[in-house]
Structure 1
Amino acid sequence: MKYLLMLYADEKAGAQIPPAQMNKFMDTMYAYEATLTKAGVFVSTAPLQPTTAAKTINLEDGELKVHDGPYAETKEQFGGYYIIDCPNMDAAVSWAAQCPAATWGKIEIRPYNEYSRE
């Protein structure tokens, strides 16, 4: 079963981290990805641009409304993700617990709904 690991952190605090320190942290994230790959559970990952680059849309009375930023104001922002393939939630929790992002933010783990169009 596939699981989405959603990485949340305070992006304003993250922007204050000196580049050398951020590069060192990113090295730990690359090592985590390598560990997932070696274990055969890695599917994909990607960082997201800051919420200032986001748009939120909705339809009101058939008219498209476009708003700057995310839907909700939050203390921590969704900043990136991993998709992993594990036998169960316990395994997904175990892998998420090893993610360096857990040291500076929260990780939400959500299973995919597997479905077929047939």
Structure 2
Amino acid sequence: MSTAVKFLLNLYLDAADPPGEGFDADFLAAAGQAGELVSAHAFAHPSISAVVRVREGVVTVTEGPYPRTSDHVAGQYVLDCENRERAVELAGLMADGRSGGVEVRPLMDSSGMEM
């Protein structure tokens, strides 16, 4: 029997082109009905974020998005799927012409094993 793996989907959008309401409806319906959606989070506009860095013991805070590009992570979704191919299939339901793409990454536990 196959063991499910948890995947993190990062949705990248151009900050100048926010998503319309329901842009991820097909994805949410498919993943939700299949019982594969663990959680979903939309993020606030990147202009109100902060980046914290430590260099040689000195903490600095930079206001605004990181990295400085027009694309930013607009939301994250955690899936519990049978395999990477299924996670990619579901990500394809969100990736449209307006998005900068959807990154699909397996989640790891503290020992480095896939969850």
Q: What band does the TM-score fall into relative to the shorter chain? A: 0.7 to 0.9
Match of 1:2 in 2: 6
3-state SS of 1:114 partner: coil
Match of 2:83 in 1: 88
- Distance in 2 between the 1:32 and 1:94 partners? 9
User: 5+ residue gaps in structure 2?
Assistant: none
- Distance in 2 between the 1:41 and 1:95 partners? 10
Match of 2:42 in 1: 47
Which amino acid is 1:2 matched to?
K
User: 5+ residue gaps in structure 1?
Assistant: none
Alignment root-mean-square deviation, CA: 2.0
Name the structure where strand makes up a greater proportion of residues: 2
- Give me the TM-score of the superposition, normalised by structure 1: 0.79
3-state SS of 2:65 partner: coil
Cα shift at 1:53: 1.0
3-state SS of 2:33 partner: helix
Cα shift at 1:61: 2.6
Cα shift at 1:36: 1.1
Deviations 1:6-53 (CA, angstroms, capped at 9, x unpaired) = 000111122xx7xxxx23xx2x52453232111010100011111111
- Give me the TM-score of the superposition, normalised by structure 2: 0.81
4+ long deviations beyond 4 Å: none
- Distance in 2 between the 1:115 and 1:63 partners? 27
Aligned residues: 106
- Distance in 1 between the 2:109 and 2:71 partners? 29
Q: How does 1:15-54 map to 2 (within 5 A)?
A: 22-23=20-21, 26=22, 28-54=23-49
Which amino acid is 2:6 matched to?
K
3-state SS of 1:12 partner: coil
